[in-house]
Structures are given as C-alpha cells and as structure tokens.
C-alpha cells in the first residue's frame, strides 16, 4: 500500500513539475507586453553589404550589413512592421548576426521611411527565453538523474541565489557594514541551508557545518596574510571588472564565497565517510578512522582543486584572445588577465586542502563524544 | 615576493603534506592543465583553426592528464575516459544551440569600455569561443564524477561477481547521486565568487529585473553554470551505463574462456 502511495505521490509531483515547466516556457514566449521597452521579432532578413577588412593589427575579418524586417510585439504600434539596419562582423565579439525569429529590444524613431515602415535602432537582444530554457533543462536533468537529491539540490541552489540577492540588498542599504561581515553571515546561512537540505539534520551534518566554517575562516586568514605580507604584488586589481565599490573588499568577499562551495563539499565528504565507517563498525579505533580519513581526503583533493581552477581560468578566454590578437606580449597578457583568477583558484585550493584534516578531526571529535556517552 | 608565487608555494606544501606523492602529482597536473589551456589559446589565434575542434582536443588531453597521470592506466580510468568524452560530445550540441541562440558570445556592454584601445575585429568566431568556455569549465568536474562512479563499480563487481547489469547500473546511479549535489554546489559558489562584483554592479546601478534577465553578461554567466551542472548530471547515467555494459560483457567473455 505504501508503495502505491509513494508512486501516486511521485506522479503528482512530476505532474506539478511538468506543469511549472510548460507554464514558464509559455510565459517567456509571450511576455512582451510585460516590458516597457519596445520589442520586435525578426521576420525577414536581407544581406545588403559584405566587406572584407583588415584591422590595424593585420587581423582579417569580414563586415556585413543586413536589412531586417521585424514585427513589433508590444506597445501602441503592436503588430506593425518596422525596418532596421544592422552591422555585424564575422567575429561577433560585440555585434550580432540576427536570424528570423530573434526578438530584439528596439528604440523607435518618430518617422516612417519611403515604404511607409517604421524605423528605429536595435538596442539589445531579448535573452530571457534562453535563460528559461537552460534553467528548465537544468532542473529536469538534475531531477531525472538525482531523483530526490536532485530536487533538493535545485531547491538549495534557488534558495542560495535568493539569499545572495537579499544579502547584497542589505549591504547596499547599510553600506557602513563591511561586505566581508555580510558575506560571513550569509556564508553561515548558505552552509547550514545547503547541508541540511542535501544531507538531513543529523550529527554528520553538524560536523560538516563546523568544519566548513573553520575551513573557510582559516583559509581566508592564510590568504589575507599572504596578500598583506606580499603587499599584493602581482595582483592586477586594475583589471577587475564591473567595479562600483572598493576593489580589495570585493575581492576578499569573492574569495570567501568562491571557495565556500568547494570547502563545503570536502567537509561533507569527510564527515559522511568517517561516520559511515563508524556506523558499520562501532569498535573501530580513532587511529584507524584517522588513517582512512586521510586516504579519502587524498582522493578528493586533486579533483576538487582542478574544478575550481578550470572554472576560474575558462572565463578569461575571450580576453586572452583579444589581447594576444592585438599583439600584446604573452607575459603581460597572462598576468593582467589571469592574476586574480589564479589567486582565487589557489586560495580555494588552500581552503580545500586545509579542510581535509579539519573535517577529519571535527568528525572524530563528534564520534569520540558519542563513544564517551555510550 | 609575488603573491601568486607565495600562494602556490603554500598550496604545494599543503598538498604534499596531506596527500604525499599523490598530492604532489595533483599539483603538477594543475600546471600541466594550465599549459594545455594556454596552448589551446595559441592555436585558436590561427583564423583557419576551428576553435570547436581545438576545444575537444584540449579537453581530451585534460581528461587524460586527470585520469591517467594522477591515477593510473587501468580499466576504471579507461571507462571513465570513454564516459567523459561521450558526455562532452553530447553536451556540446546542447551548449552550441543555446549559446548561438542567446547570443552571449564576446563581451557585454559593461565590459566594453575597458576594451576601447583594442580591435575586436580579430577574425575569430566568438560564439565558438563561448562554447569552449562552457566545455573547459565543466571538463574537470565531469572527469571527477566519472572516476568517482567507475572506480567503486569496478570494486563492486569483484566482491559480487554475479551482479546483474541492472543492479550494477543502479548502484552506479546511487553513487553518482551523492556527488551530484555537492559538485553542483561547488560550481555554483565558484561562479558566484567570480561574479560578485557584477551582482553588486547590477544593484548599484539599479538594473531592473527585466534588464538583468536579458543582459548579456548575466545570461552568459547563468548559461555557463547551468550547462556545466547539466554536464555533471549527464555524466552519471552515461558512466554507470557504460561501466555496467562493459563489466558484464567482460564477465561473459571470461566465463566463455573458462568453459
């Protein structure tokens, strides 16, 4: 009976999920009226000019001009056709080749052209549709592969994203509070929420939470001391993007948040496996636990550091290419574009490795307390 | 002293202290991976070379280093290699469709000012570079998951030689599920850390919700995190299936030989 009910519950849950996915897809495909900016959908394209050109560095590229007929999707002129001109290059680093079906944000001119069509200027591309498709694909794959755990991971990512947005709002409102302090408080919330959601409320999770917090603090302290001691030599803060605030503070906060996930990952792996060994054999000695814990740590250490490394380095590819193609020297290009990314990866790596013994001893502490009680 | 050198030295010392020989190997593999990426960038500068093929070659090399150098060449790592590459190719199609549709290649309006002194007409298709970014950012994590599944599956069949293919597959999936949550978490926070400044920028310049969900940089970032996570999720059934098929086939072959 309970099997049947479990099945039924599952069917209901899956139906709700499918409904949410479909509803949000339909919404993003028809949400033009919710925007204040004018949106036009491309219906016809004509290539009117094509030109080979070579830039002042000798790079060959091609430039194109296309005439676009698009239909307005919102506003007073909804349904009427308009004509737009678009210039784009083969590289497309900051321009776009539009195709039929693309939706664009446009600014309308007050005049009409000879063919009595509205004219205007392309401002940006409507991308929310693709954002929704990727989000749905992500949620669906995680839930199909991960079942319950997958669902909880999706939920915990959503909650964490909302929490981060809220924390930044608080920071902007009360700018006199230090960003690092806000990130610290948020980090505690992040850690407890994600670990409780994915691993349940039990001693194993308590040990992991404590290990995560100690691990991040210690590694942050080490990194801070190094930056302070070396005077930040070799770190090119001037290439930090999107700066609207003092850069050193943002950088420290980003180190903090960036390594948090990896440290959390190591902490839960350590404590889960130590507890597992203990549950299977309650008479196991502390020394044996320590030994197996270190073995497990060795296995995860390398892969975790390389995850962080790839994530940080990969984002710099377009910049590296632009610099090198503009004949910037290699050493200069690398140090300008990668110094902060490498610092993040290295600091995260230090956090990961430090958390192995920290996670191990926290779990052992919890187990020996348990042993003393019984 | 240069900050990066000191940080690298501390990391090396810690890795050797905690991980011994394997720790040293992991550290060296980071350097080799870095070298592979820089080489890839060099080859991408040639306008005749296809960035997509270069990315695939680079990821294969990276997977080889992470599996065969850090671990060793055996059935477990070979199966992990096949599974990772198969997943990469599958993921490739999806990523390509999304990145070319959403047009998130190159640079956003928030970044363009600092690029003013540079020529952007450099004859390289930036859509393909975007695909490359997503692939490179997830390849490390995918290899990690793949070896973490294929290694215990190989152990399992040694302890229970009579296990059915279905049960083997199911246990691979179970192992994978445990890793899935933590690894997507790692990726998520790593990206958030990298883009904290961007989030503050959006808030400081009071972008509306509509502005943010259509902005190139934001959409590009979210697409990268989510596609990377989809890669991690997909590698789980693929590795479990490839291993289950391979291990049961191998067993049948051995039985035939004995009889």
Each residue's pLDDT tens digit, B165-212: 999 999 999 989 888 887 888 888 988 888 888 888 888 888 899 999
What is the token pair recorded at A145? 């592969």
pLDDT of A109 above 70: yes
Residue in A242, A334, A341 closest to B197 by CB: A242
- Does residue B83 sit in the same domain as residue B207? yes
Report which DSSP code applies to B66: I
Contacts of B214 in chain A (CB under 8 A): 105, 124-128
- Give dist(CA A130, CA A31) in Å, integer: 13
- Does residue A92 sit in the same domain as residue A189? no
Q: For residue B71, what is the enclosing H or E element?
A: none
What would the mean pLDDT of A299-327 be, rounded to a whole number? 88
Confidence of residue A7 (pLDDT cuts 50, 70, 90): confident
Between residues B112 and A347, the one the model is more confident about: A347
- Give dist(CA A278, CA A295) in Å, integer: 15
Interface contacts A/B by beta carbons within 8 Å? 400
pLDDT of B151 above 80: yes
- Does residue B100 sit in the same domain as residue B156? yes
Number of domains in chain B: 2
Asked if A131 and A146 count as a contact pair (C-beta separation under 8 A), the reply is: no
- Does residue B133 sit in the same domain as residue B152? yes
Give A232's Cβ-side CA count (13 Å radius). 10
pLDDT of A197 above 90: no
Confidence of residue A98 (pLDDT cuts 50, 70, 90): very high
Predicted confidence at residue B59, as pLDDT, reads 95
What would the mean pLDDT of A60-85 be, rounded to a whole number? 91
Contacts of B130 in chain A (CB under 8 A): 318
Confidence of residue B1 (pLDDT cuts 50, 70, 90): low
Predicted confidence at residue B133, as pLDDT, reads 92
Is the minimum CB–CB distance between A175 and chain B shorter than 8 Å?
no
**Domain annotation covers residue A162:** no
- Tens of pLDDT, residue by residue over A208-221, are 999 999 999 999 99
What would the mean pLDDT of A33-53 be, rounded to a whole number? 92
Asked if A180 and A256 count as a contact pair (C-beta separation under 8 A), the reply is: yes
- Does residue A236 sit in the same domain as residue A330? yes
User: What's the CA angle centered on B59, arms A254 and B25, to 5 degrees?
Assistant: 70
Note down the domain range covering A116: 33-126
- Does residue B171 sit in the same domain as residue B137? yes
- Does residue A48 sit in the same domain as residue A187? no
Of A61, A96, A126, the last residue of a domain is: A126
Q: Where are the alpha helices (DSSP H) in chain A?
A: 2-29, 128-173, 179-199, 203-229, 247-280, 286-314, 317-325, 330-373
- Give dist(CA B170, CA B180) in Å, integer: 15
- Does residue A337 sit in the same domain as residue A198? yes
- Does residue B21 sit in the same domain as residue B100? no
- Does residue A197 sit in the same domain as residue A317? yes
Is the minimum CB–CB distance between A368 and chain B shorter than 8 Å?
no
- Does residue B71 sit in the same domain as residue B125? yes
- Give dist(CA A172, CA A296) in Å, integer: 42
- Does residue A336 sit in the same domain as residue A236? yes
Predicted confidence at residue A1, as pLDDT, reads 38
Predicted confidence at residue B112, as pLDDT, reads 84
Residue in A198, A306, A311 closest to B30 by CB: A306
- Does residue B32 sit in the same domain as residue B58? no
Q: For residue B18, what is the enclosing H or E element?
A: helix B3-44
Predicted confidence at residue A232, as pLDDT, reads 84
- Does residue A212 sit in the same domain as residue A305? yes
- Does residue B96 sit in the same domain as residue B198? yes
**Domain annotation covers residue A140:** no
Residues contacting residue A32 through CB under 8 Å, at least 6 positions apart: A39, A73, A74, A103
- Does residue B62 sit in the same domain as residue B34? no
- Tens of pLDDT, residue by residue over B44-84, are 998 888 999 999 999 999 999 988 988 889 888 999 999 99
- Does residue B21 sit in the same domain as residue B140? no
Number of domains in chain A: 2
Strand bridging mode A60-72 / A103-112: unpaired
User: Which residue in chain A has the smallest CA separation from B192?
Assistant: A258
Residue in A131, A233, A245 closest to B200 by CB: A245
pLDDT of B87 above 80: yes
- Does residue A196 sit in the same domain as residue A327? yes
User: What's the CA angle centered on A173, arms A168 and A174, to 5 degrees?
Assistant: 100
ipTM reported for the complex, 2 dp: 0.93
Confidence of residue A2 (pLDDT cuts 50, 70, 90): very low
- Give dist(CA B10, CA B19) in Å, integer: 14
Predicted confidence at residue A3, as pLDDT, reads 46
- Does residue B249 sit in the same domain as residue B197? yes
User: Which residue in chain B has the smallest CA separation from A250?
Assistant: B197
Note down the domain range covering B146: 52-258
Predicted confidence at residue B28, as pLDDT, reads 93
Confidence of residue B15 (pLDDT cuts 50, 70, 90): very high
Between residues B112 and A349, the one the model is more confident about: A349
- Tens of pLDDT, residue by residue over A129-175, are 999 999 999 999 999 999 888 888 899 889 989 998 899 888 888 87
pLDDT of A230 above 50: yes
**Domain annotation covers residue A273:** yes
Q: How many Å lie between the alpha carbon of B130 and the closest alpha carbon of chain A? A: 8
Averaged confidence pLDDT in chain A: 89
């Amino acid at each position: 009976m309970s099997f049947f009910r479990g099945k039924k519950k599952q069917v209901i849950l899956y139906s709700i999920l499918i409904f949410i996915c479909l509803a949000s897809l339909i919404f993003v495909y028809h949400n033009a009226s919710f925007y204040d900016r004018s949106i036009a959908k491309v219906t016809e394209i004509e290539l009117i000019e094509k030109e080979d050109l070579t830039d002042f560095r000798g790079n060959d590229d091609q430039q194109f001009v296309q005439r676009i007929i698009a239909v307005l999707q919102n506003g007073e002129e909804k349904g009427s056709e308009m004509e737009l001109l678009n210039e784009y290059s083969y590289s497309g680093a900051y321009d776009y080749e539009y195709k039929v079906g693309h939706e664009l944000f446009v600014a309308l001119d007050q005049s009409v052209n000879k063919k009595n069509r509205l004219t205007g200027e392309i401002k940006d591309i409507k991308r929310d549709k693709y954002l929704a498709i990727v989000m749905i694909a992500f949620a669906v794959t995680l839930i199909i592969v991960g079942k319950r755990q997958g669902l909880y991971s999706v939920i915990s990512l959503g909650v964490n994203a909302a929490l981060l947005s809220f924390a930044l709002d608080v920071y902007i409102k009360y700018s006199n509070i230090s960003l690092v302090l806000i990130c610290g408080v948020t980090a505690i919330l992040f850690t407890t929420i994600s670990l409780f959601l994915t691993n349940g409320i039990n001693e194993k999770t308590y040990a992991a939470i404590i290990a995560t917090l100690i691990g991040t603090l210690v590694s942050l302290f080490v990194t801070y001391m190094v930056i302070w001691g070396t005077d930040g030599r070799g770190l090119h803060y001037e290439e930090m993007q999107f700066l609207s605030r003092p850069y050193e503070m943002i950088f420290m906060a980003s180190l903090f948040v960036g390594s948090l996930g990896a440290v959390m990952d190591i902490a839960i792996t350590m404590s889960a496996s130590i507890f597992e060994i203990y549950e299977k054999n309650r008479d196991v000695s502390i020394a044996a636990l320590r030994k197996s814990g270190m073995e497990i740590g060795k296995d995860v250490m390398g892969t975790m550091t390389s995850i962080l490394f790839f994530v940080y380095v990969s984002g710099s590819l377009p910049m590296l290419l632009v610099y090198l193609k503009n004949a910037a020297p290699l050493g200069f290009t690398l140090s300008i574009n990668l110094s902060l990314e490498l610092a993040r990866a290295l600091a995260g790596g230090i956090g990961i490795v430090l958390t192995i013994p920290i996670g191990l001893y926290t779990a052992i502490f919890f187990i020996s307390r348990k042993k003393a009680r019984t | 002293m240069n900050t990066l050198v000191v940080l690298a030295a501390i990391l090396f010392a810690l890795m050797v202290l905690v991980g011994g020989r394997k720790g040293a190997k992991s550290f060296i593999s980071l350097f080799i991976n870095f070298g592979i990426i820089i080489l890839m960038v060099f080859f991408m500068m040639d306008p005749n070379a296809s960035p997509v093929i270069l990315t695939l070659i680079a990821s294969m090399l990276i997977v080889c280093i992470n599996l065969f150098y850090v671990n060793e060449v055996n059935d477990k790592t070979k199966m992990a290699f096949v599974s990772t590459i198969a997943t990469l190719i599958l993921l490739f199609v999806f990523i390509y469709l999304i990145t070319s549709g959403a047009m998130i290649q190159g640079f956003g309006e928030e970044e363009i000012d600092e690029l003013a002194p540079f020529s952007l007409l450099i004859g390289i298709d930036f859509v393909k570079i975007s695909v490359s970014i997503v692939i490179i950012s997830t390849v490390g994590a995918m290899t990690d998951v793949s070896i973490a599944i294929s290694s215990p599956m190989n152990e399992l069949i040694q302890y229970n030689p009579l296990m059915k293919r279905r049960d083997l597959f199911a246990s691979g999936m179970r192992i994978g599920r445990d890793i899935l949550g933590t690894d997507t978490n790692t990726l998520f926070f790593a990206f958030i850390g990298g883009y904290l400044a961007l989030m503050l920028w959006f808030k400081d310049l009071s972008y509306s919700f509509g502005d943010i969900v259509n902005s190139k940089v934001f959409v590009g970032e979210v697409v990268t995190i989510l596609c990377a996570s989809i890669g991690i999720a997909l590698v789980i059934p693929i590795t479990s299936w490839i291993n289950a098929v391979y291990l049961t086939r191998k067993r049948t072959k051995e039985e035939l030989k004995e009889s």
